[in-house]
Chains A and B, each alone.
Chain A
Amino acid sequence: GESVGLHLPTLSVQEGDNSIINCAYSNSASDYFIWYKQESGKGPQFIIDIRSNMDKRQGQRVTVLLNKTVKHLSLQIAATQPGDSAVYFCAEAYSGNTPLVFGKGTRLSVIA
C-alpha cells in the first residue's frame, strides 16, 4: 500500500467535475513553482509549472493559478477522471541556486 498518504488532506470529487487543489507556499521570494502528481508506488511526475512573473498558466485539462499577494498556488483539473486519483504536490524554488522545496501534498480521490 501507499503509506506516504496516511496523513494527507483528501479531496473527493465526482468523475466529470472540476477539481481545485490548493497550496500555500512559504517564501515570498520564490520565483518558480511546480505541481507534481504521484500515483501509488511511483515517483512524482511533473504536471505543470509557472514562473512568478505570471499569474495563470494552462495545460491540457490543468490550470495553475498563482497569487503572490497571499502566497497561494492552486491546481485546477477540468473534467476529473479516475486516472487523476493520486497525491498532488506543489513545489517552490527560492532562487536559481537552491533545490526545490515540496509541500506536504493533497490526495485526490475521484468517485466514479
Chain B
Amino acid sequence: DAGITQSPRHKVTETGTPVTLRCHQTENHRYMYWYRQDPGHGLRLIHYSYGVKDTDKGEVSDGYSVSRSKTEDFLLTLESATSSQTSVYFCAISANQQGNYGYTFGSGTRLTVV
C-alpha cells in the first residue's frame, strides 16, 4: 500500500519470546494505529498514536506495548508472546482521528506463536 509498509510480513515465534512489529509511513500523518484481525472478531484496535510519544490504549491492549519516537515509525511489541496473540496485525494511518476517507492500511503481518 502506498505510503505505509509493515515488517515483517510473516513471522513465526515461540511462546514467551519478545516480538516487535514495525509500521513505517511516508505520508507524515499524525495518527497511527495497530489493529489485530481474527476470525469472528473483525478488526480490533490494540493501540494508537496521535503524535510522537503520544499513545493510547485500544480495545485489546493487554500484552502489547507501543512506541513512537518519530512521526514515521510506530512499533508494536509483544513482551512475551502467547498463542492467543497468533493473528494478523494491521497498521493504519490517518491525517486526523476519523480520517478523511478513512484510514490507509498496510498489507499486514501474519504472526504465529507456537
Besides the contacts A34-B99, A45-B105, A49-B102, what 12 more A-B pairs have beta carbons closer than 8 Å?
A: A3-B39, A4-B37, A4-B38, A34-B102, A41-B108, A43-B92, A43-B105, A97-B97, A99-B97, A100-B103, A104-B40, A104-B42
> Chain A 7-33 against B: per-residue CB contact (8 Å), 1 yes, 0 no?
110000000000000000000000010
Q: Does B45 belong to the interface (CB within 8 Å)? A: yes
Given contacts A32-B98, A36-B102, A104 and B108 within 8 Å (CB-CB) = no
Q: How far is the CA of A13 from the CA of B33 in the complex (A)?
A: 34
Q: Which bracket fits the contact residues of A? A: 20 to 34
Q: How far is the CA of A49 from the CA of B100 in the complex (A)?
A: 9
Q: How far is the CA of A10 from the CA of B58 in the complex (A)?
A: 28
B114: chain A residues within 8 A (beta carbon): none
Q: How far is the CA of A81 from the CA of B109 in the complex (A)?
A: 29
Q: Which residue of A lies closest to B56 (CB)?
A: A99
Given contacts A42-B107, A42-B108, A43-B108, A100 and B40 within 8 Å (CB-CB) = no
